[in-house]
Structure formats: structure tokens, C-alpha cells
Structure 1
Amino acid sequence: MPILNFDGRAYEGHEKETVLDILLKAGKEISHSCKTGRCQGCILHCKEGDLLPVSQNGLGEELTKEGYFLSCKCPLRHNLEVASPETHTFFQEATVVKKRQFSDTICQITLKVDPDFEFLPGQFVNLGRHEGVLRSYTLAGLPTEAGVIEIHVEKRPAGELSNWLYSDCRVGETLLLQGPHGQFYYRPDSRDQNLLLLGNGTGLASLMGVLKSAISNGHKGHIALYYNSDRLTGFYMHQTLRELEQKYESFHYFPCFSSLYFREGFRQGRADEAAFRDFPSLSGWKVYAAGFPSMVYTACSRARAAGVKVEDIFEEPFEMKDLRRTPRM
């Protein structure tokens, strides 16, 4: 049975377990979020042993050469000696400077970070409270002020960090921040292409990042944004989107009720259902889908069937993995 040495202690592990699985089972507080490799929050440093290439997929060349790897994607096939990375190498501090409540479940938090922090709206960062658990949040605002970023937080049942951020976090609180990550952002070279934006939940933060970037870059093609919720309070930026629709002739907003509830001015069905009824052929378009995985993956499949090139489809599924010793209710 292979042995994992971590910070001076040895742990036995099954070859089908990942390094992250073994350390969490042993009670170690390892920074992590999605457990799929997407968020890159579980990076560790390999000091001795052979890593499988899959454990370093998505990391930069420099990090790969230095032996850093994603512990959630690293099965323990051989003996490994690993260590926690230096905090200052991957994290910076972020201070809460403003909170705004959008609804009874969603709020906006503005954070002050290093003035040299660079990002593209729609990318995401990992945030934590120094206790090891990280969660990923999309950067929704434009980088209009150096060192200021904006995230949207949704309160969830048994959501350890999101509930604290929504209910108890106060202005002045300091968090750890890692990132930015992700390919979900506007490409200025696509100014003439039509854009289809599909979302639900706080996937709207990702779409707002793309939308604001497109507008600020003088996008010339049409932009259609479809957003669904099963309750009226779920449309937490409804008025803002209506105002943008009135201001920009090429932007069109379609709120969609995914329940049987009917309201004038709203479409029926999930965002992807309504959009592909309206646009059965999308050759030459770019498609962005963000939110709950079932909608995102279905939307991407429908986009390919509608003629969208694979390289013009961007997805941001908000996977809700069970990351706790006490399972999510």
C-alpha cells in the first residue's frame, strides 16, 4: 500500500484515493473547494515522488516544474512526500469594504485587494477564512478601480462559508484570496459576433462580467441574456438588466420562470429551453452558460447541436460537491 508523507507524518492510502481524500480523512485542514480540479484551490507541493500528469493539468509551466500539483486530481499510486505551499505564494489578503443585499438569499460583497491584482470580469477567485475551506466566487464587476473586486454570494443550506459571508461577515473582515482563474470572460476580438448568455442562480455574476466587458469594449453584435429562477425574488438584478436593455439597443434581456408561475413580461421554462426555442440555429455565435450544472451542460450540448463551434462555447457550472465531514443537508 503506498505511503503519503505530509508535513512530516505518514499516512497510508488506497491507490484509488486521491491525496486530498487521504488528508481530509485524516482530519487535515487542506484548502480546497470544487474537488474537480477546476478551482485550483487544493494545490500542494511535491517534495519527493513521481506525479501523474493529470495532477498538474491546468497549472502553469513554472508551477509544474517546481512540483506543485492539484491534490484532488492526484491518485496515490506511489509513495509521495508532499507539503503545504507557502501561503504568501498563492494567497493574498482581501478586506471587505462594502456589502449590499440583493435579496433574501443573495448579496454583493466588495473587496479591497492588492492594487496590482489583475483580472478579467467573469473569472473567479477562491476565498477562505484561514481555516482551510475555500469556495469559488465569480468576479462580476469591471476593474474600474485598482484593487477593488466584486462578488455575489448566495446563502445555501449548510453552506459554511456562503452563509457566514451573507449573514455574519462585516465590513473590515479580512479573507484569504487565491486567483484569478478560469476562461469565462469576454474576448474583445469577437466584437462583431452575436453573444448568447445563459444563467441561473449566482451564475448571473459570471454573465454580468461578460456583459459589462462587452459593453465597455463597444460590442457591435447582438447580446441576448436569458436568466431563469423559480421565484420572483430570484431575479435579483432584474431592474439593472432592464435599464441596460433600454440603454443599449443591441442588448436583449429575457427573464424566465422555470416553475409553472406566470408573470407578464417573463418567459416560461429554463433559460436554455427558452433561448433555443427562440434561436434554433446559432451558427457564428458565441455562447456563455453559467449556473447550476444541469442547465449549463444541457445548454452547451444544445449549442453544439445549433451549430456553435466548440471553441465558441464557454461554461461555468457551479458544482455543489460534498466537501464536508458532515454531509450537506
Structure 2
Amino acid sequence: MPELEVAGKRWTVAPASNLLDALNAGGCKVPYSCRAGSCHACRVRCLSGEPADAKPEALDRLQRAEGWRLSCQCLVVQDLVVEVFDPVRDGIEAQVLSLDWPAQDVLRLRLAPSRPLRYSAGQHLLLWNDEGIARPYSLASLPDCDDWLEFHLDCRSPGLFSDRARLLAPGDRLRLGELHGGALHYDPAWDTRPLLFLASGTGLAPLWGLLRDALRHHHQGPIRVIHLAHDPRGHYLAEPLAELAAAHPGLALQLITAAELPEVLAQFRLVSRQTIALLCGDPASVEDFARRLYLAGLPRNQLLADTFLTREA
């Protein structure tokens, strides 16, 4: 029977136990969100021994060389000595600059990190609160343009992190965990190709940064933005998006609700098979969008998508 050791505490676990489950069962309180190897909230460092890793490509070579593993993707097959990620020791402190509600259930959070953070539009960042709860959020800010890190939190449903975030005030402190890239990015080489941004809910956050990144690079091809919300009040960036559309003739904006989605999908046509599509939102919406794009003839390698899941309290 393999043994786990964390901070001097040692206990036996069943062979091939999931490492995340074994650590939490042993009282280590390792956070997690997706359990799919995407959010990186459950990252731990293996000091001795090696687990069976189902997704080694999820971390870069340097992180793996330092012993970091995603515990949700690992099985305990031999004795392991593990160090749990400590946001105080391993993270970056950030101060809350401002909070506002661009929609009733969307909290816009702006943070100032204690030291400069190099990132690209569309990346994710792990946020830790003072209760040790960690969640990954997409960056809505644009590097070299915004003087803050911006996040859009969906607060429609109860959540351990989002409920606490409602109580934050300017000057409060959070910790920043690992920065990692999802599928979404803007490539200046796409300069003349049509761009299609499809978002549901706060899946608009990374696309807001990427859209501004494309415009900053003076993108020459047509750009179409479609935002899906539960109702008209959910189009929380309607005004700034409309302002961008008014300033850029090549940018078309379409705000739709869930009730309108079937008709929009049925009538959807590609302006060109050279289109690059960037999708972000809940899995069901992203799947609906992606299916329609495939039927419309979009090559699969021209579709970039990120999905997010909301964990309830």
C-alpha cells in the first residue's frame, strides 16, 4: 500500500488512488475547480516519488522539472512526499483597486499586483482569497494598455469564491497563483482574415481583451462579435462594445439572448472559410457554437475555444 506524506504527516492510501482525492481525504484541503487539468488550481509539488500522470502536457517542462503536478490528473502508485501549493509562499500579492457591477450578476474586479506580471490577452490566472479558496479566471485586461488586471466574475449562482468576492473593498488583498494560457490568443499573422468572436456570459472577458488586442494591431479583416446572454440585461459590455463598433467600420456587433439563439444558429453563415473563430463560455454554449461552425464549413484547426465551469458553494 503506497504512503503519502505532506508536511510531516504520513498516511496509507489505496493503490491507484486519485492524488487530489487522497490529499483532501487526508485533510490537506487542496483546492480544485474543473478536475480536467485545465484550471491548475490543484497544483502540488512532488518532492519524492512519482505519481502516474494522465496529463503531463498540461504543465510546461520547467514546472515539471521543479516537481509540479496537477493532482486531479495523478494516481498514487508508489510512496509520495508532496508539498501543497502555498499562496503566501508561492503566490503574488495583489491589491483590490476597484469593484463595480456592469450587470446585476457580473462583478468587475480590478487588481494591482505587487510586482509586474507578464501576460498575454486571453490567458487565465488563479486567484486565491483570504480563506484559501482558489479559482481560475480569464484576464479581461490588455497588457501594456491597462494599468490593472481585470476579471469578470459570474455571480448568478452561489460560489465559495464569488460569494466572498462580493464582500471585497478597495485596498483588500488577494493572492495570485499560476498564470497559464488557454486556447485563446490573437496572432498578428491573421491580419487580413475574418475574425469571429463568440461568447456566452462572462466568457466575454478574455474575448474583450483579445478584441482590443486585434484592434491595437490594426487588424484589417472584418471582425464579428456575438455575445449570448440569458436576457438583455446580461450584455454587460454592450456600451463599450458599441463604442468600438462605431469607431471601427470593420467591426460588427450582435447581442443575442438564449431565446434567440436557435434562430441565430439556423441562419448563421461564414463570410469566408478563412475565418478564425474564438469561442468562450459555458460548455453547452461553446458546443452549440462549434457544431454550427463545423456545419458551416469552418476547418477545425481554425476554431479556438475555452470553456468554464461554475462550482456552486
Tell me the TM-score normalized by structure 2. Answer: 0.91
Kept in 1: contact 2:124–2:138 (CA 8 A): yes
The equivalent of 1:29 in structure 2 is 29
CA change 1:89–1:304 in 2 (3 A) is farther
Secondary structure of the residue aligned to 2:103 is coil
Once the two structures are overlaid, the 10-residue window that deviates more, 11-20 or 246-255, is: 11-20
Equivalent residues in 2 for 1:271-282, closer than 5 Å? 274=264, 277-279=267-269, 282=272
Equivalent residues in 2 for 1:67-146, closer than 5 Å? 67-85=67-85, 87=87, 90-144=90-144
Kept in 1: contact 2:223–2:252 (CA 8 A): yes
- Runs of 4+ aligned residues of structure 1 deviating over 6 Å after TM superposition are none
The equivalent of 1:317 in structure 2 is 307
Deviations along 1:140-166, whole A, 9 cap, x unmatched? 12123576211111214321111221x
Q: Deviation at 1:242?
A: 1.6
Tell me the TM-score normalized by structure 1. Answer: 0.87
Equivalent residues in 2 for 1:1-329, closer than 5 Å? 1-15=1-15, 17-85=17-85, 87=87, 90-144=90-144, 148-165=148-165, 167-183=166-182, 184-259=184-259, 268-269=260-261, 274=264, 277-279=267-269, 282-321=272-311, 328=312
Q: Deviation at 1:252?
A: 0.6
Secondary structure of the residue aligned to 1:57 is helix
Give RMSD over aligned pairs.
Answer: 2.2
Q: Equivalents in 2 of 1:99, 1:131: separation in Å? A: 19
Secondary structure of the residue aligned to 1:269 is helix
Secondary structure of the residue aligned to 1:170 is coil
Q: Equivalents in 2 of 1:245, 1:44: separation in Å? A: 44
The number of equivalent residue pairs is 312
Kept in 2: contact 1:29–1:131 (CA 8 A): no
Structure 2 residues not aligned, in runs of 5+: none
The equivalent of 1:263 in structure 2 is none
Q: Percent identity?
A: 25
**AA paired with 1:187?**
D
Once the two structures are overlaid, the 10-residue window that deviates more, 4-13 or 33-42, is: 4-13
Kept in 1: contact 2:87–2:177 (CA 8 A): no
Secondary structure of the residue aligned to 1:22 is helix
**AA paired with 1:191?**
D
**AA paired with 1:181?**
H
Kept in 2: contact 1:226–1:275 (CA 8 A): no
Q: Deviation at 1:119?
A: 1.1
Kept in 1: contact 2:16–2:76 (CA 8 A): yes
Deviations along 1:114-151, whole A, 9 cap, x unmatched? 44311112211110114332111111121235762111
CA change 1:280–1:87 in 2 (3 A) is closer
Q: Equivalents in 1 of 2:125, 2:138: separation in Å? A: 6
**AA paired with 1:269?**
L
Q: Deviation at 1:174?
A: 0.6
Q: Deviation at 1:32?
A: 2.9
Once the two structures are overlaid, the 10-residue window that deviates more, 5-14 or 211-220, is: 5-14
